[in-house]
Amino acid sequence: MPGSNLNSSVRLVCCWVLLCCMPGIGGAAVPDKAQTPVPRIEIPVPVREGAHALEGQTLTGTFTLVNTGAAVLHIREIKTGCTCIRAEGPDQVPPGGRAELRLTVDTKGMPGERAFKATVASDDPARPVVSVTLKARITPLVTLTPDRFFLRGPVGRPLAGDIDIVNRGDESLRITIDPLPPDTGLTVELTTIVPGKHLRLSLLCPGGEAAAIRERLMLHTTIPGRERIVVPVLVDLLSPVEILPAALVLRRDRCPACPSRYSGSFLLRATDGRPLTLLAIRPEQPEMQYETETLLPQQAYRITVYWDAASKAAPPSSLTVTVRQNEPQTLSLPVRLDAAGEKTARIGVSGAGN
């Protein structure tokens, strides 16, 4: 029928118009935004290791920036992690192109193992910020070997230590020293081995009363970046005879057959090398037993103490230990029951040997 043919023609025209208006079909297609060219930043080696420089020298490291995208890569900002680092890089990198990023580091005052970092901000939508790292070992201009004084020995015997100070720079090294407090009794001496290059710092302790000395020796130098050097001073003067730990702690034995027995142990040793003989341990009570083990003949002993709580008597507040080093000496050791252990410390010697 004529009306049916007309309706069919109208439907065909409408379908053709709709198809032409759909994206990607016919002349009225809408551009696909996913196909818009974008830049892509790549750094093949973002971390460089093994660099080396003498303290005060300029250290450089280069990194390659690659644009693997289809649009120009614009570098918006390059930031460094320290004011000692200067970064130089491109403003832009063309598609498929390469450019160099250079880090220049002023190493003055920065000895040791170091990591120098920088970040690169760009218009890469996937990676807007990337980072690079330059790892280096900076050899100090001035080295101290060892880097501190640590003296340990018995009371009454002088102790001495040396530190070698070496200058690897071109400038001549000169040092002044702040004096230590006079009550420490320590003497400091500076000796020239090679003028301006090698000095020796010596410390002498006369070895007075038993004590622990903790000080800092301040050195002032003429080397840029190392104008001040702090040298720790650690001195331990030991009693001729040492008891470890500082207190005897009696704890319940784990033995099921001895539910009322408590035990603990301590070490007795000579610190000056002289022969040491254990003479007696007191108090002597029926509920107290002592077991002695020789660790090093005439030098070190382990004493285990047993106390029986079934006696109902309280344990003694301290033990008296009598030893001989040329002549008799007496030591006192506090006793605690089921108390927390204490750190190792030294017990002073009293009696005939002082």
pLDDT recorded at residue 16: 45
Domain limits of the chain?
Answer: 41-139, 142-238, 241-337
CATH class of the domain whose range is 241-337: mainly beta
DSSP, residue by residue, 88-122 = E--SEE-TT-EEEEEEEEE-TT--EEEEEEEEEEE
Q: Which helix (H) or strand (E) holds 66?
A: strand 58-67
CA–CA separation, 222 vs 351, rounded Å?
A: 53
Q: What's the CATH fold of domain 41-139?
A: Immunoglobulin-like (2.60.40)
Specify which residues 269 forms β-bridges with.
242, 300
CATH class of the domain whose range is 142-238: mainly beta
Q: How far is CA 17 from CA 29, 193, 345, in A?
A: 12, 99, 98
pLDDT recorded at residue 28: 46
pLDDT recorded at residue 11: 56
pLDDT recorded at residue 6: 46
> Do 41-139 and 241-337 have matching folds?
yes
Cβ neighbours of residue 208 under 8 Å, at least 6 residues apart? 155, 185, 237
pLDDT recorded at residue 348: 41
In order along its 354 residues, the chain shows pLDDT tens digits of 455 454 555 454 444 444 444 554 444 444 455 579 999 999 999 999 989 999 888 999 999 999 999 999 999 999 998 889 999 999 999 999 999 999 999 998 888 999 999 999 999 999 999 999 999 999 999 999 999 999 988 887 899 999 999 999 888 999 999 999 988 889 999 999 999 999 999 999 998 776 789 999 999 999 887 899 999 999 998 888 989 998 999 998 877 777 788 999 999 999 888 899 999 999 988 889 999 999 999 999 999 999 988 877 888 999 999 999 888 989 999 999 874 433 333 344 444 443
